[in-house]
Amino acid sequence: MPLPYASEALEPVISRETIGFHHGKHLAGYVNNLNNLLPGTKWEDVPLETIVKQADGGILNNAGQILNHNLYFAQFAAPKADNKPIGKLAEAIDKQFGSFDAFKDEFQKKGATLFGSGWVWLSADEEGNLLITQEPNAANPIQKGFNPLLTFDVWEHAYYLDYQNRRPDHLAALWQIVDWSVIEQRFTS
């Protein structure tokens, strides 16, 4: 997936340098790996989501990381003051978590306490209930039957150049760049 904004668009929350490595090297690496693994397998012409739900081994790991990063990079926009959810999603967050602030606290806590590499997710179940989950390594909530809405990448490559060991500071800053119109669209479609 091409980056949907300029590589410096998310500064100062995420630097141009981090975006360059994260999108241009890490994601590109997963894409190259998968393109090398797929030829001659039954997964060659199968949608990415189906591969993530059904495959295993290296194909699953690389497909999962591609799907996760596609959702991740597509959900951001330039920093905005007082950035917050809109529409039906805002109502659902208030109903489920009490308030946007309470939701942010729980989401950040789950991101900060995820041991090792992985992703923290906001998803919706089949009834539209919201839930926050920690997923290790390349896992995605679609493997549990959930609709993934928002994700923060807690692999060190996502923040180490800008925040070093301060993962909680990185997570707290990301709220400025979430494009809630994208998250709302994922929730209502």
| Chain centroid, CA 181 distance in Å | 15
Residue 31: which of 66, 59, 5 has the closest Cα?
66
Rounded-to-5 percentages of helix, strand, coil across the chain: 55, 10, 35
Q: Tell me which of 155, 159, 163, 175 binds Mn ion, using CB under 5 A.
A: 155
Pick the closer one to Mn ion by CB: 66 or 93.
Answer: 66
Q: Tell me which of 89, 108, 153, 159 binds Mn ion, using CB under 5 A.
A: 153
Pick the closer one to Mn ion by CB: 19 or 92.
Answer: 19
* Binding segment (CB under 5 A) for Mn ion, from list 76-84, 91-99, 123-131, 148-156: 148-156
Pick the closer one to Mn ion by CB: 14 or 142.
Answer: 14
Q: If binding is defined by CB under 5 A, does position 135 make contact with Mn ion?
A: no
* Binding segment (CB under 5 A) for Mn ion, from list 13-21, 47-55, 87-95, 146-154: 146-154
| Chain centroid, CA 130 distance in Å | 16
User: Judged by CB under 5 A, how many residues of this single chain contact Mn ion?
Assistant: 3
Six token digits for residue 147: 């609709």
Residue 126: which of 98, 96, 146, 97 has the closest Cα?
146
**Residue number closest to Mn ion, CB atom:** 153
CA-atom Rg of the chain in angstroms: 16
Pick the closer one to Mn ion by CB: 67 or 158.
Answer: 158
CB of 97 to Mn ion, least distance (A): 26
CB of 72 to Mn ion, least distance (A): 7
How does strand 147-153 pair with strand 118-124?
Answer: antiparallel
Q: What distance in Å separates the CA atoms of residue 132 and residue 165, rounded to the nearest whole number? A: 23
Residues that bind Mn ion (CB under 5 A): 153, 155, 158
